[in-house]
Amino acid sequence: MSHHKSQTILVRCPDDRYSPGEMLHAGLKEILNCEDCLVRYEPNGFGGAMEFCHPETQTAWLWRFKIAGTLEPKIQRLIVINHTPGCGAVCAEFGPFASDDDEKNKHLELLSQAAEFIGKHAPEIQFIGYLQTPEGVKKIIG
């Protein structure tokens, strides 16, 4: 019955804690259960939403969306997952952070920027943004 599910691109960090049994893996499963989606393309993206906030990778993503729109069935949805604290990619780019709250705020900012970018340049793609923390998963956008 996969044709009832949303055809989806999923982007999250290449963090070891996404391995089976680790904390982020459980959160990822929870998100996928909530969204009832069929993930058809799952490239890792450094810092999740951070991928959609840099000109170098933005160009690559627009090309991917163009191809995604030609597939049958079309890919119509993008789920972006950020995680905090201790995201190596976001810390490498913006850290060190004075506090976990500061790091969390940067992730929220990146998710907003990513949503804005998609809305402007690939409006045919529905954007959904999540933040994973030790407290659990939280939908931020979508």
Binding residues for Zn ion, rule: CB under 5 A, are 13, 15, 87, 89
Min dist. Cβ of residue 44 to Zn ion (A): 9
The CA distance from 77 to 41, in Å, is 11
Looking at beta carbons, which residue is closest to Zn ion? 13
- In DSSP terms, which residues pair with 137 in a beta bridge? 132
Q: What minimum distance in Å lies between the beta carbon of 89 and Zn ion?
A: 5
Are 19 and 50 spatial neighbours (Cβ–Cβ below 8 Å)?
no
Q: Which is nearer to Zn ion, 69 or 136 (CB)?
A: 136
Nearer Cβ to Zn ion (12/40): 12
In angstroms, give the least distance from the CB of 21 to Zn ion. 18
CB-count exposure of residue 58 (10 Å: 0-12, 13-18, 19+): middle
Nearest to 84 by CA among 76, 75, 95: 95
Question: Please, which residue, 5 or 17, has the CB nearer to Zn ion?
Answer: 17
Tell the smallest beta-carbon distance from residue 30 to Zn ion (Å): 17
Q: How many CA atoms lie within 13 A of 81 on its CB side?
A: 27
Nearer to Zn ion, 68 or 131 (CB): 131
CB 118 within 8 A of CB 78: yes
